[in-house]
């Protein structure tokens, strides 16, 4: 589930394949059922998976159950509660207490799906319901876009892998854990590229030592202007390309886009919240595109629970709590602290306020992610 169809899916079977009964009762000819009190003779039974194979004649009825094939010659269903049957056996008399309408309670062949119709279009994201549809229409396999392999690489001398006890000046590499889970949740396959230390060329060595071919590279850290930040410099060597560096947003200003040996690279900042926010805004749609689909964030408008400070030239993504207020309206409260290192606040936020560049105070409603 969650995979994207690579090609259209046409129904191999009609649904239903043959006309079937929508109710339990008796299959008969409407011409024989014109008056209350008419007596028919039961001559057989049609059940789901066990159709009656004869042809219905004048004055005859076939006991039928929901989902069973309509006998040849029958054109109506008399509900079982609308007859008096002398016995539950062939040869029994069936007295009509309610005149049936022609075609009533009969599901015609192809009522739901007609063989040859396109039931799923290329680009559709598969779900349990759509798998059921494809299976019912005769398919055991469909063509899907492959899951993109996304290399996840952390950079920094201060990082230790999860499970290790950090020493003085060290921190646990939580960005890689987050990004691997994020990639998987977006439909990709995360490939752990480990930790590149703070020296020129280390990032390229790690990427080029990947255990399998990659469709996308995601780095975290080493994206700023410090003397120990080498990702941008590494993208000026042979076989690499720097697309852009820095973007007018907060958090996440030192975002990088480039290529290594023709593989696209997205360089995220090292601060945990900056990395996570950029992943939502840039990495999620990139994975969707590589998976054959597309992604648009869910935007809602809500009333602010407090004023926002004036903004500068950068677009802010404020970690916030979105809820329904006492009046039944959507209301949002930004966290008081917006430090990009505070993963605890981000972890408990359920929305991002998009504060556009150069906004003034006292905005009563803002768009949200």
Predicted TM-score (pTM) of the model is: 0.81
Overall average pLDDT of the 337-364 stretch: 84
Question: In the prediction, which pLDDT does 3 show?
Answer: 93
Question: In the prediction, which pLDDT does 62 show?
Answer: 98
Instruction: Phi first, then psi: give them for residue 76, nearest 5 degrees.
Output: -155, 160
Round to whole Å and give the CA distance between 202 and 145: 32
Helix (H, G, I), strand (E, B) or coil at 165: coil
- Please determine, for residue 90, whether its predicted confidence score (pLDDT) is greater than 60: yes
The CATH number that domain 149-290 falls under is 3.40.980.10
Cα dist from 287 to 150, 174, 240, 280, 306, whole Å: 8, 21, 21, 11, 35
Q: Are 290 and 147 in contact (CB under 8 A)?
A: no
Cα end-to-end span (Å), the chain: 24
Mean per-residue pLDDT of the chain: 93
More confident residue, 136 or 226: 136
Express each pLDDT in 39-85 by its tens digit: 999 999 999 999 999 999 999 999 999 999 999 999 999 999 999 99
Question: In the prediction, which pLDDT does 228 show?
Answer: 66
The class level of CATH for 1-15+112-145 reads: alpha beta
Max CA separation in the chain (angstroms): 98
Cα dist from 312 to 32, 183, 210, 268, 359, whole Å: 83, 32, 41, 22, 8
Beta bridge partners of 259: 241, 264
Round to whole Å and give the CA distance between 37 and 267: 82
Express each pLDDT in 283-294 by its tens digit: 999 999 999 999
Share of the chain above pLDDT 70, in %: 96
The class level of CATH for 20-107 reads: mainly beta
Q: Are 279 and 219 in contact (CB under 8 A)?
A: no
Q: Judge: domain 300-368, CATH 3.40.250.10.
A: no
Element spanning 287, H or E? helix 284-290
Cα dist from 157 to 56, 177, 253, whole Å: 85, 17, 22
Question: In the prediction, which pLDDT does 5 show?
Answer: 97
Q: Provide the token pair at 83.
A: 């007859």
Question: In the prediction, which pLDDT does 310 show?
Answer: 80
- Among 102, 111, 208, smallest CA distance to 153 is for 208
Express each pLDDT in 128-187 by its tens digit: 999 999 999 999 999 999 999 999 999 999 999 999 999 999 999 999 999 999 999 999
- Please determine, for residue 22, whether its predicted confidence score (pLDDT) is greater than 60: yes
More confident residue, 40 or 363: 40
Helix (H, G, I), strand (E, B) or coil at 129: helix
**Environment class of residue 104 by beta-carbon count within 10 Å: exposed (0-12), middle (13-18) or buried (19+)?**
middle
Confidence of residue 2 (pLDDT cuts 50, 70, 90): confident
Question: In the prediction, which pLDDT does 358 show?
Answer: 72
- Please determine, for residue 359, whether its predicted confidence score (pLDDT) is greater than 80: no
Confidence of residue 366 (pLDDT cuts 50, 70, 90): low
Element spanning 131, H or E? helix 128-136
- Give domain limits for the chain: 1-15+112-145, 20-107, 149-290, 300-368
Tokens 């008056």 belong to residue: 35
- Among 273, 279, 359, smallest CA distance to 314 is for 359
- Neighbouring CB atoms inside 10 A of 279's CB total 23
């Amino acid at each position: 589930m969650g995979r994207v169809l690579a090609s259209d899916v046409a129904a191999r079977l009609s649904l239903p394949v043959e006309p079937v009964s929508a109710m339990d009762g008796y299959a008969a000819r409407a011409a024989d059922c014109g008056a209350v009190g008419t007596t028919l003779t039961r001559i057989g039974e049609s059940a789901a998976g066990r159709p009656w194979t004869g042809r219905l004649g004048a004055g005859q009825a076939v006991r039928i159950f929901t989902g069973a094939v309509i006998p040849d010659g029958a054109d109506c269903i008399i509900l079982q509660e609308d007859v008096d049957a002398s016995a539950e056996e062939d040869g029994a008399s069936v007295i009509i207490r309610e005149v049936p309408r022609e075609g009533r309670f009969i599901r015609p062949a192809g009522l739901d799906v007609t063989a040859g119709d396109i039931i799923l279009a290329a680009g559709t994201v598969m779900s349990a319901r759509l798998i059921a549809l494809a299976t019912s229409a005769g398919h055991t396999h469909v063509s899907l876009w492959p899951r993109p392999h996304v290399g996840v690489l952390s950079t920094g001398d201060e990082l230790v892998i999860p499970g290790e006890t950090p020493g003085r000046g060290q921190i646990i590499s939580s960005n890689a854990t987050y990004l691997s889970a994020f990639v998987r949740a977006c439909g990709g396959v995360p490939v752990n590229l480990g930790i590149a230390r703070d020296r020129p060329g280390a990032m390229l060595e790690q990427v080029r030592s990947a255990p399998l071919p990659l469709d996308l590279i995601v780095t975290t850290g080493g994206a700023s202007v410090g003397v120990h930040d080498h990702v941008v410099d590494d993208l000026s060597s042979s076989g690499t390309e720097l697309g852009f560096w820095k973007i007018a947003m907060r958090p996440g200003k030192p975002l990088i886009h480039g290529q290594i040996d023709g593989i696209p690279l997205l360089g995220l900042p090292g601060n945990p919240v900056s990395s996570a926010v950029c992943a939502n805004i840039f990495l999620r749609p990139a994975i969707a595109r590589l998976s054959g689909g597309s992604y648009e964030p869910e935007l809602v408008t809500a009333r602010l629970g407090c004023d926002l400070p004036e903004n500068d030239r950068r677009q802010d993504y404020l970690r916030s709590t979105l809820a329904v207020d006492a009046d039944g309206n959507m209301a949002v409260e930004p966290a008081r602290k917006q430090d990009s290192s505070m993963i605890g606040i981000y972890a408990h936020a359920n929305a991002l306020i998009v504060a556009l560049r150069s906004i003034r105070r006292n905005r009563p409603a803002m768009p949200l992610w």
